[in-house]
Structures are given as C-alpha cells and as structure tokens.
Structure 1
Amino acid sequence: MDEVRVSSWNELLECLYEDAWMPHIQRFRSPYAFRGLPNASFTLKTSLMQLGGDYAQLEGHLLRNFKKYAHRDVVEQDSIWHWLSLAQHHGLPTRLLDWTFSPFVALHFATATIECLQQDGAIWTVNYKKAHDALPYSLKAKLAGEGADVFTVEMLESIKTLREFDDLAPDTFIAFFEPPSLDDRIVNQYALFSVISNPCVAVNEWLDQNPDTYRKIIIPADIKWEIRDKLDQANINERVLFPGLDGLSLWLKRQYYPLKQVTETLQNEQPQQP
C-alpha cells in the first residue's frame, strides 16, 4: 500500500495534487477520486456491507422496495443506475461508495467530525484511469468511444441489472461514474460514485490487490484544526456542501463549539504516560 503521513498543510496539498499535471493537454487535471474519513482506521466498506448478516441477498430487496415506495417522478429515467444513485444519495444501503473529484471536499469530511479530532484522519485517493484498466472490454470500449475517463449513468444504461453488471467479467472490477445532478448537494460536493462488481468485496480489498491504483494519505490529529480553519475560510463547509437549514445548523454548531471543551476532551482521552 502506498501510504504517506503528512506533517503540514503545505505537504498535504503537495500530496493531494501530485500527478495533476497532464503534459499532453498542458493542463492540471488530477486523475484521482478522493474520499475523506475522520478516522484513518476506517475501511472502504459499503453501506450494504455494514448491514451485516446475509447482506448480499438483501441488495435486490432493498432496491426493489425503494423503487416501489419512492415517488416515480424523482428519477430522470427508469434505469438501475438512476435508482441506485438516488437510493445512495438518500441513505439506502447500497454497494455504491461516495467519492469526490475535489480534494478539499474530501478534506472536509476528514476533519468535520468533532468527536474524531483526537484521531488521525485519512484521504483515500484512487486513480480512476488506472482502476479502469481492469474493466471488461465492453466498458473500456464505452469509455474510449465517448473519450471519457469516468462513466455517466447514461453511458451505463445498456446494463439493465446489477447481475448483468457482475457477469461482465469473471474477476472483480470497479467502475467510477458521475451521478445525475439530483440536487445542489451532489453538485456542490462534486460527487462521484464507485460501483464494484462483487457486493461482498470491500473497495479497500480490491485496492490491496491493485496497489498501483491508489494512495492513502494520513492526516495527523494535531494538524486537523489548522486544516479545518483553513477550509472554513475557503468556504468549504456544511453550509455549502449541504445546502439548506440542516447544513447551516451543522456549520454553526461546529463554528461555535467551545474550543476549550474540545481541548479538554482531547487531553482527557490522551493515554497516561508511565
């Protein structure tokens, strides 16, 4: 695993924007998808896996009932990819995993949880171009035909079911696709989803088998507050990423959370020296 532990804001930025220069187009265009976690020990298990039990057998039931009870006009087209995007966006356990094109949005999710400030955070970065090298031919041909690096839901619509998707290749593969712009939250978070062809394989397990596709950047707990304050000044916060009164309330709660109380909590949780 390519894991790096940064020690400063500047070093963190260098890591996040590494490999962004694309000489063939003379532009800075990072090929990475980013996912921020407040605790570096967290894995990349999907919400479906976190159900536990015989979760793979529940996947079809969850989605079928979601489609049955959701309003029929909430998706642009009646495709599995529109429904999966909508379900994931509203908290239904699925095999999708949330990512973002924005390293700053990922940093927000790595530093916004006050309860985890005493713990190291992490940013997982996946080179989706390299990850897509493992796609079955039909999907790689679709990307090549569109001149695209990631999929849209429209590009995947010829695949009608998740079982059909899983059967495209004998080996497990992962695809990244942009969800439809269902609301401002998806747009503001510069959202991206991954979908894996085996619901029983965690994304980090697939990455471990393909170590050249990713890096894990460890954010020490002692620089989280600096990162958090700089993100807030850059207007990367709950008020923007979760438009509406809920996001506004989350932002204000964190903004006015007593720093003294946080410091005392962290000190009390420090292990005692011998």
Structure 2
Amino acid sequence: MLTGMMLNQLLSIKAMESAMYKLGIPDEKDFKSITEFFDYASEKLITRDYDFGFRGHSDSDWELETTLSRFVSEIQSHYPERSANYERELLTDLCLQRLHKQFKNNLITNNDLPQDRIEKIDLWQYGQHFGLPSPLLDWTHSPFIALFFAISEPVRTGAESSRCVWVINLNMLTHVNTQVIEEVRPKYENSISPESALNQQFPISEIVQELNENNRRIAFQQGFFTKHEYYKSLEVWLKRVVGEMSFHKGDAPVLTKLTFPCSEKERISMLDRLDKMNINNRTLFPDIFGSVKGAVDTVYRSFQAPKVRGFAFSQD
C-alpha cells in the first residue's frame, strides 16, 4: 500500500516527466495571428534562461534543409543513372569537394578576393549569400529579424499563407552533439569503419559563428550558422541521432516551430512595425543588394498607405 509520502513522490516524478520534451521531436505552437506571435516573442523568447537561435520561413511546410541538400536532390533527380552509383552520403561528399574546390578556383581566377584572404575565410559562409549551395543553415539571435525574413515576401496568389519561425535551443543542441561524440559513436566504432564513415552516419550539428569583413551581413543580422552535411534536413538528423541516445528527453526541446497566419494587410502592418525597430532590407543587407531591395520594398509599401489623410480642427 502506498503511503502519502510515496504517492507524493510518484506524482512529483510524473509531473517532472510530463514537463520533459522528447529531444528528437520538434515542439509546435500555433498562434491565431501574427500579432499574437509578436507578443509571445517579446515575452517568452527574449530571455537569459536559454541561448536561442531563430529562423523565419515564409512557408510553414518548409523543412530545415540546407541549399546543399536541395542541390544533391537535384543532382539525383536530373542525373539518376550517374547518381545511382553513389549512396546519398557519398554523393553529398563528392558535391562538397567539387563545389568547394571550384568556387575557390573561381575566386582566385577572377581576383574576387586576395588569395591570402581566400585561404583564411570560411568559403561556405562567404559563398552562401551569393548563391553557392552550402551545408550551412542561417540563423539569427533575434526573433524579430527571423520574423522579418518570414514575412518579407508577399502572400502568393491563391495560397494559404501560413508562416513560421523556427526556434533552436543551442544549449540543448550542444548537449545532443556531446552525446553523439561520447555515447553514440563509441557504440558503433567496431562495426562501422573507417572513422570517416562513422562520422557520416552520426555527424554532429556544428555551430558556426565566424565574423569577418567579407561578410558584414552576419553581424548586421545577428547571424550564425549550423552545419549539416549528410542528412536531408535538421529534423531528420535530430530524430536519427537522438534515437541512438540512452536519454531521449530534456527539460526543453531542441527545436520548436512557431506557426502563424498572415494576410497581406497584416504583413504590411508588421513590416511597418519592424521598420520602426530598424529591421528592414537596408539594415540587414549592408550592401548594394540591401539598398536596391529596401528601395523596392519601400515604394511597394507606399501604395498601401491611405489615399486620403484626414485632419481634425477645433475652434475655441
């Protein structure tokens, strides 16, 4: 028979377990409006309890997939006979090597940067913002900058406009990375060889935060990257590696998906609000691209302003 103390302990354990999150499964929250999301971000996401990163998607159905992953999928689709000779991991490795080598050679040939600089910088970071397929996924430390990227493009005609901001808990991600190195890989080191193959099967998600004068956007966007080479998306990688861990739960989720509807009127209104916070194309892209994009966006939104402004007068 359970005593009162034993019952209280069991209830306490159950309450603790219900508060734990399955690390391999993203948590999801749906908001009724973009304003409701904004208020939630202001109250809950500006905190020192955890180190958060944020990423905005204009389509909530999009996965956390790198441009490299999409590039590899295109190679498989367009050249099925050639790519069939490779497992996806090997094909990815081949694309990584060829893209990096060719991009570096082109920078040198065109004299885009001094060669000593080319040898020192992270070419993936530098090339990504110019369209190079990359194993890096962009994040920002600001939920409001992520919100801007989620709503910067107009609503597509005839499309249901459900957008989202992804939240990544960097403290929990670091924990998962540590467990991959200390627990998961050692379980398979005798059955999977060489070591490079083991690391491809169970990679870590490296956090990349390198500032340099050749990529000013990183600083202005409060940006950083996570690196993903061999899995189709961050969600797929997370589920795979956490499934091999002894402890699958944590006091906070690694990933959270925050979804909200957004009409065109609400989008314009929120862009005006963010603009007053100095979050716009001009400030986030401190180059010619940002100047052009900012000008186009400002003119576009000027046509959303009221046609007639009324003035009230009083006579004493």
Alignment TM-score, normalising by the size of structure 2: 0.63
Alignment deviations for residues 151-185 of structure 1 (CA, whole Å, 9 cap, x no partner)? xxxxxxxxxxxx98875585232121113223322
Q: Give the residue type in structure 2 aligned to 1:131.
A: L
Which of the numbers 52, 59, 63 marks the counterpart of 2:96?
59
Q: CA RMSD in A?
A: 3.3
**In structure 2, what is the Cα distance between the partners aligned to 1:164 and 1:63?**
22
1:221 CA displacement = 1.4
Q: Give the residue type in structure 1 aligned to 2:163.
A: G
1:135 CA displacement = 1.6
Alignment deviations for residues 110-157 of structure 1 (CA, whole Å, 9 cap, x no partner)? 0111244861211011101101112247989xxxxxxxxxxxxxxxxx
- The secondary structure found in structure 2 opposite 1:204 is helix
Q: Give the residue type in structure 1 aligned to 2:106.
A: Y
**In structure 2, what is the Cα distance between the partners aligned to 1:201 and 1:66?**
23
Q: Give the residue type in structure 2 aligned to 1:78.
A: E
2:267 is aligned with 1:224: yes
2:176 is aligned with 1:134: yes
Q: Give the residue type in structure 1 aligned to 2:255.
A: Y
Identity %: 23
Quick check: which has more Rg, 1 or 2? Answer: 2
Alignment of 1:61-100 (within 5 A): 61-71=98-108, 73=114, 76=117, 78=119, 82-100=122-140
Which of the numbers 29, 37, 40 marks the counterpart of 2:60?
40
Q: Structure 1: where are the runs of 5+ without partners?
A: 22-27, 141-162, 262-274
**In structure 2, what is the Cα distance between the partners aligned to 1:17 and 1:139?**
35
Preserved contact between residue 136 and residue 168 of structure 1 (Cα < 8 Å): no
**In structure 2, what is the Cα distance between the partners aligned to 1:203 and 1:138?**
15
**In structure 2, what is the Cα distance between the partners aligned to 1:165 and 1:98?**
26
1:189 CA displacement = 0.8
Preserved contact between residue 39 and residue 122 of structure 1 (Cα < 8 Å): yes
Q: Give the residue type in structure 2 aligned to 1:132.
A: T
1:249 CA displacement = 2.0
1:65 CA displacement = 0.9
- Rate the CA distance shift 1:244–1:94 in 2: closer, same or farther, 3 A: closer
**In structure 1, what is the Cα distance between the partners aligned to 2:231 and 2:204?**
12
Q: Structure 2: where are the runs of 5+ without partners?
A: 1-25, 77-90, 183-193, 243-248, 305-316
Aligned residue-pair number? 232
**In structure 1, what is the Cα distance between the partners aligned to 2:57 and 2:119?**
33
**In structure 1, what is the Cα distance between the partners aligned to 2:203 and 2:278?**
39
Alignment deviations for residues 218-244 of structure 1 (CA, whole Å, 9 cap, x no partner)? 121134333222111211000111123
1:206 CA displacement = 2.6
Q: Counterpart in 2 of 1:147?
A: none
Q: Give the residue type in structure 2 aligned to 1:200.
A: Y
Which of the numbers 245, 250, 260 marks the counterpart of 2:288?
245
